[in-house]
Amino acid sequence: MKLIDYRKRVKPNEWAEFALAVGTTVGHLNNVAYGLRIASAALARRIADVSKGDVAVWETRPEDWHLIWPELIGAEGAPLVDQQETRDAA
């Protein structure tokens, strides 16, 4: 699920608690949710963990998640990646 969809699912106070739980501000989390900013790798991981996998790392790091977490390539729901790009980065 995209972070923006996750945001729409929760009440405003729950969104603030989620931001606190992942270690960022509501403002920054909104920027990530609306695609104005890319989450850091650490934030992407915390979002995935705190959302209990509802928001996968590839949703908040769409361009390079497979380079940071190659073990997730082929995971259920994971986007297809260019295998040559993955080999070149290794």
**CA torsion angle for 26, 28, 34, 35 (degrees, to 10)?**
-160
Mean pLDDT for the chain overall: 93
Cα dihedral sign, 23-26-27-29 = positive
pLDDT computed for residue 86 by the predictor: 55
- For residue range 50-63, list pLDDT tens digits in order: 999 999 999 999 99
- For residue range 5-26, list pLDDT tens digits in order: 999 999 999 999 999 999 999 9
Percent pLDDT > 70 in the chain is 91
pTM of the model: 0.89
